[in-house]
Amino acid sequence: MLDIKFLRENPDKVKENIKKKFQDKKLELVDKVIKLDEEYREVKVKADNLRKERNDISDNIGALMREGKKEEGLALKTKVTSINEELKGLEEKEETLSKEIREIMYMIPNMVADDVPVGEDDSKNVDIEHIGEPVVPDFEIPYHADIMASFSGLDKEAAARVAGNGFYYLVGDIARLHSAVLSYARDFMINKGFTYCIPPYMIRSDAVNGVMSFEEKEAMMYKIEGEDLYLIGTSEHSMIAKFKNQILKESELPITMTSYSPCFRKEVGAHGIEERGVYRIHQFEKQEMIVICKPEDSEAWYDKMLNYTVELFRTLDIPVRKLVCCTGDLADLKYRSCDVEAWSPRQKTYFEVGSCSNLTDAQARRLGIKYKDEKGNKEFAHTLNNTVIAPPRMLIAFLENNLQKDGTVKIPEALRAYMGGKDKLVPNNK
């Protein structure tokens, strides 16, 4: 959420930012919220003046009563009653206007960084760096579901009977591999100085509205019927909301945490749910990293977090690339974002396995996350998040890049301790 003062003083900049994001239907919101803000401030001044007048009169009443001037005191009490009636109406209007302003401000996107490429959708994202040599082997790479099936490791038919399309059972070595990469990612981030955390898997609506836009909420989140609870789409949601309405000490920053959670997503939209495989599904597990820091430090943390994910994938012999998200592909709260994409030797292209984002103070304003500096000034913190790994999607990249001609899957050295010392997986038919 933007600072209302910034919007008030820079309406043209805010409108230009909306145009960059190809959300012209929201342009009218800027003028609307400015008008409401003017009305709100007028009402607030009137209410503040009345409150001051009431306090002054109340002081006079006490003095008059002590002096025995009862009749004059009672007359002033009548005046206080009249003020209270007028003030009640103004305070109700204050509350109504404040709520309406906040709801509109929630819909106006965060300012994007000046160097973010302008484009309507992800087709305009910009490839900026390749790390690792992409290899296409001299044998055919099967579809990832077929690789898993060769280890009797995937059962989507049973999952469909139990839960419907978009779910899965992972079994045997594939299930073990899934857990191993999560454990490895956890320890990888702990060794980078991040504190490990397992968060709640459900959050209330005020937390949801604090971490994402209304559009994202409708497209992603599962609502618990009859309760003010939503299943999280990523642990970032509950991890950032952990600091809701907190005033942190400057000495506590940066807060760096890595979290494990299952994630639940409706996946409403053009992509849809994948029928055979596990690339786009309703449920998956994830190791996440979040940072809460001072504003002047957030861009440095953005670069650092992004490179942590790249480093992890390279330790597992998976080539990756960085893809800068264009304006139209940025969620409303994001200042900038970069996708990490893994090489697919089967498709001979890259596919998304994670995303690193700097949200500046957009989430902090919604959630009331501040820090107090040494002088006692309170400022909104900046928040960032990044995927460490998100299996089973990450398993697709792992299996394709480590598959051998004989159908075995090589286990990179970094992962062997998490796989009981195994250096390869052997299909059931070998």
Strands of 81-200, DSSP E:
126-131, 154-155, 169-170, 195-197
Closest CA to 389 of 303, 320, 291: 320
Tell me the average pLDDT of the chain.
Answer: 92
Banded pLDDT at 254 (limits 50, 70, 90): very high
Residue 372 predicted with pLDDT over 60: yes
In the block, which residue shows the tokens 């191993």? 180
Q: Is the pLDDT of residue 330 over 90?
A: yes
Q: What is the pLDDT of residue 52?
A: 83
pLDDT at 84: 81
Phi, psi of 283 (to 5 degrees): -140, 135
Average pLDDT for residues 86-115, to the nearest whole number? 94
- SS3 at position 212: coil
Q: pTM for the full model?
A: 0.91
CA-to-CA distance for 313 and 131, rounded, in angstroms? 10
Confidence of residue 66 (pLDDT cuts 50, 70, 90): low
The pLDDT of residue 30 is above 90: yes
Instruction: Look at residue 85 in the predicted model and tell me its pLDDT.
Output: 82
62 has a pLDDT exceeding 70? no
User: What pLDDT, in 10s, does the model give residues 263-304?
Assistant: 999 975 545 566 678 988 999 999 999 999 999 999 999 999
**Mean of pLDDT values over 335-348:** 97
Residues 6+ apart with CB under 8 A from 154: 145, 148, 168, 169, 170, 171, 174, 278
pLDDT at 241 over 80: yes
- pLDDT band, residue 86 (cuts 50/70/90): confident
Confidence (pLDDT) at 244: 97
Amino acid 36 reads L
Please report, as a single letter, which amino acid is at residue 419: M
DSSP class per residue in 17-56: HHHHTT-GGGHHHHHHHHHHHHHHHHHHHHHHHHHHHHHH
Per-residue pLDDT at 51? 84
- Token code pair at residue 404: 């051998």
* Domains located in the chain, CATH noted: 4-107 (1.10.287.40), 122-425 (3.30.930.10)
Q: Rounded CA gap, 121 and 1, in Å?
A: 22
pLDDT given for residue 83 in this prediction: 80
How confident is the model at residue 374, as a pLDDT? 86
According to the model, what pLDDT value does residue 358 have? 98
- Taking the C-alpha atoms of residue 305 and residue 356, their distance in angstroms, rounded to an integer, is 7
3-state secondary structure 269-333: CCCCCCCCCCCCCCEEEEEEEEEEECHHHHHHHHHHHHHHHHHHHHHCCCCEEEEECCHHHCCCC
Predicted local distance difference test score (pLDDT) of residue 80:
73
Task: Name the band, by pLDDT with cuts 50, 70 and 90, for residue 22.
Answer: very high
Q: Check residue 55 and give its pLDDT.
A: 73
Helix H or strand E encompassing 147: helix 144-150
Q: How do residues 147-161 score in pLDDT, each as one tens digit?
A: 999 999 999 999 999
